[in-house]
Structure 1
Amino acid sequence: MTTGPARPAPAVDAAGYGLAFVGAALFSTKGIFIKLAFAAGVSTEATLALRMLVALPVYLLILLSLLRRNPQLRPLLTSKRLLASMAVGTLGYYVASYLDFAGLAFVTAQYERLVLFTYPFFVLLFGVWFFGDRMSWNLIPAMGLSYGGLLVIFAWNLTVRPEGLVLGTALVLGSAITFAFYQHLAKQQMLVLGSALFTCIGMSTAAMLAIGQSLVVDGPASYLEFDGYIWFLGLMLGVFGTVLPSFLLNAGIARIGARATSSTASFGPIVTIVLAVFILGEEFTLFHAFGTAMVLLGSWLFAWLETRNRAKLAEL
């Protein structure tokens, strides 16, 4: 009995993984700037609006440039496609962002990042439930390990400062769930429009909604009271916590898919923890270290098993 030549292993898209990795690391700085803005007395709505005020002109300029340089993109923007992209962008960049910002008012930046870090699990589950993906049961223990780590930190917080912990955790977890569902929907839009055009449409829509919400809640006059420091935080949040990572992550999704992109974020929580300890002065106890290690180990195991599962499917 003769066997045919072994199929070569699928090539790893190093550029795609690199884009996703850097984007996740930059997104992890977001919580630090948000906490600093809260400490300066800025409301949740105004902080989100400051982020979007900085980001909106960038996305609009890039959008106009894309349509001018690539006339072939214009026919793709049918009314149905435009509304769909606006709706998906609203889900991922407005609803998910607002839930995250609101949750940060109750929990620490490092805990928030660890809760958000579980969104790859929801990407997997939503892919199986709604988008025809195959369930990989060997990933369940890795998911359990990460959630066990979250429970360790949650229990420590519950004994030390329980005020608002349950509400804050629920809000951030809601953000993770929303963002995971967004990733699947965004993939479908980017297959038609490309990552850059979709990102500009989605972020511009979310930005206008966030700015409008703040104008209603806080009033236009509140912005006249912001000093240079608050505007600086808004600039950093808009550029390094929004514009750059959104393009990098969406480019990663377009190249390697939602599930693979979501599994590359293991460096993000470490960035947040280091910055939270040294800039915000947050505590980092043995309970934090143990819980964080469990979350990261579970997520690393999840990513490793996911990559191995994908390789096996490619060989079939």
Structure 2
Amino acid sequence: MTDTHPRAWRITGFALSAAGAMLFAIKGVLIKLIYRYGIDTTSLLAMRMVLAVPVFALVGVHQWLRLDRRARPDARTFCLAMLVGILGYYVSSWLDFEGLQTLDAQIERLILFTYPFLVILFGRLLLGHPLRAHALLGAGLSYVGLFVMFAAEPTRLGPAALIGGGLVATAAATFALYQLFARELIVRCGASLFTAIAMGSAGITALLGFFATHPATALVPPRGAWALIVALAVFSTVVPAFLMSAGTARIGAQSTAIVSTISPVVTIGVAIMVLGEPFGWPEALGTACVLGGVGLFSLVETRPRSYRAAEEGPA
């Protein structure tokens, strides 16, 4: 194999991850717009998955059939992919969606963006990975930025906003656990099959949760909300899920985290233009601290001399 092929492979991985991050970035704005129609979190998750699950099922069946029998994941791997998917795409999504009921979209994205530090923390607690100084420094800088954004606006210190922030922070923690365990499963299953299994399982769980608590008629949204829900399901669920999994398989979770730095910037820009959210010096300073903290952490993690260690760690 020539040297040009690995380089092209990684460049493609960066491009896929960047595209996925930008599409995921508009999710919060779409959700805030949909909430204006009086749709609750559980119903919105179910509507999203009604449109998404058939796509994941078709892709999953196609990928399964094209694999040689000996190359297909065994029952244990399949079940682990299901559990990890439910954690990362159902539990995390529900917490995130519910938090957006009372939280600005730009703050939601910045809180979620701190998940790489939680990957390192959980890696230390659960798997005994080293906890390095630059991770603590980056985390401290990022959380100082979030504190500045909350403290500068009195309404963000109210009970509703703080509860929303806590829900999104918990979503970041569950997504960090997903990232910690997903990489090995992606390698075993292949990016497309893993994504189909994980998202399909999360979708079925979301639908079961909906039918256990809501009448079937609640699954039909108001007419004006349909276009937004379709956009949420297709362009902020199906497409970026496959893009991010494919990118992670090529460049690893840590490099994907660097590329994802673009995500909060896109969210902030769209939230200001579409939702009219405020953006003054506290938001600018807070954003700079969060991006700086994650950027510092990610750059140190992916230096050539530590690249192999990073890949053997939380990725």
- TM-score w.r.t. structure 2 length? 0.89
Match of 1:272 in 2: 267
Number of the residue aligned with 1:4: none
Q: Kindly indicate whether the alpha-carbon contact (under 8 Å) linking 2:301 and 2:307 is maintained by their aligned counterparts in 1.
A: no
| Residue 28 of structure 1: how far off its partner (Å) | 0.9
Report SS of the residue matched to 1:263. Answer: helix
CA distance in 2, matches of 1:81, 1:305: 32
2:171 paired residue number: 175
Deviation (angstroms), 1:157:
3.4
Question: Is residue 123–residue 259 contact of structure 1 (8 Å, CA) maintained in 2?
Answer: no
Aligned to 1:3: none
Take 1:250 and 1:168, find their aligned partners in 2: how far apart are those partners? 28
- 2: CA distance, partners of 1:87 / 1:160: 34
Q: Determine the structure 2 residue equivalent to 1:284.
A: 279
Q: How many residues were matched structurally?
A: 303
Shift of 1:234: 1.3
User: 2-side partners of 1:161 and 1:130: how far apart?
Assistant: 33
1:211 corresponds in structure 2 to 207
Computing the radius of gyration from Cα coordinates, the structure with the larger value is 1
Alignment partners' CA distance in 2, 1:206 and 1:159: 34
Q: Find 2:115's aligned residue among 112, 115, 119.
A: 119
* Preserved contact between residue 73 and residue 188 of structure 2 (Cα < 8 Å): no
Q: How far does the alpha carbon of each residue in 1:204-241 deviate from its partner, in whole angstroms, 9 at most, with x for none? A: 111011122222323111234x2332121111001111
Are the aligned partners of 1:91 and 1:178 in contact in 2 as well (CA < 8 Å)? Answer: yes
3-state SS in 2 of match to 1:113: helix
In 2, distance between residues paired with 1:109 and 1:93? 18
Q: Which residue of 2 aligns with 1:300?
A: 295
Amino acid paired to 1:39: R
How far apart, CA to CA, are the structure 1 residues paired with 2:27 and 2:256?
A: 19
2:11: which partner in 1?
Answer: 14
Consecutive unaligned residues of structure 1, counting only runs of 5 or more, are 1-9
Cα deviation digits, residues 44-79 of structure 1 (max 9, x gap): 111111211111111011111112223436x63433
Report if aligned partners of 1:263, 1:302 keep a CA contact under 8 Å in 2: no
Distance in 2 of aligned mates of 1:219 and 1:68: 36
Aligned to 1:70: 67
More displaced stretch, 107-116 vs 47-56: 47-56
Alpha carbons 1:106, 1:163 under 8 Å: kept: no
Residue 102 of structure 2 aligns to a residue in which SS?
coil
Letter of the structure 2 residue corresponding to residue 311 of structure 1? R
Is residue 150 of structure 2 the alignment partner of residue 146 of structure 1? no
Backbone CA RMSD of aligned residues: 2.1
Q: Aligned match of 1:162 in 150, 154, 158? A: 158
**Aligned letter for 1:227?**
P
Distance 1:47 1:134 in 2: 39
1:143/1:230 CA distance change after superposition, 3 Å: same
After superposition, the Cα gap between the structure-2 partners of 1:129 and 1:160, relative to the gap in structure 1 and judged at 3 Å, is closer
Quick check: 2:37–2:222 contact (8 Å CA) kept in 1?
Answer: no
Partner Cα separation in structure 1 for residue 97 and residue 156 of structure 2: 22
Match of 1:135 in 2: 131
> What's the counterpart of residue 7 of structure 1?
none
Return the match for 2:305 from 295, 302, 311: 311
> Which of 86, 90, 95 does residue 90 from structure 1 map onto?
86
Q: Structure 1 residues 173, 64: closer, same or farther in 2, change over 3 A?
A: same
Among 193, 197, 210, the alignment partner of 2:193 is 197
- Report the equivalent of 2:219: 223
3-state SS of 1:257 partner: helix
- 2:43 corresponds to: 46
Deviations 1:165-214 (A, max 9, x none): 22111100000010011112111211211111111011111101112222
String of CA shifts for 1:76-105, please: whole Å, max 9, x gaps.
Answer: 343322221111111111011111011111
Identity of aligned residues (%): 40
Tell me what 2:98 maps to. Answer: 102
Q: Which amino acid aligns with 2:278?
A: E
Aligned-pair distance for 1:159?
4.9
The 3 A distance-change label for structure 1 pair 76 and 298 is same
Q: Report if the CA contact (8 A) 1:34-1:101 is conserved.
A: yes
CA contact under 8 A between 1:120 and 1:262: conserved in structure 2? Answer: yes
- TM-score of the superposition, structure 1-length normalised? 0.89
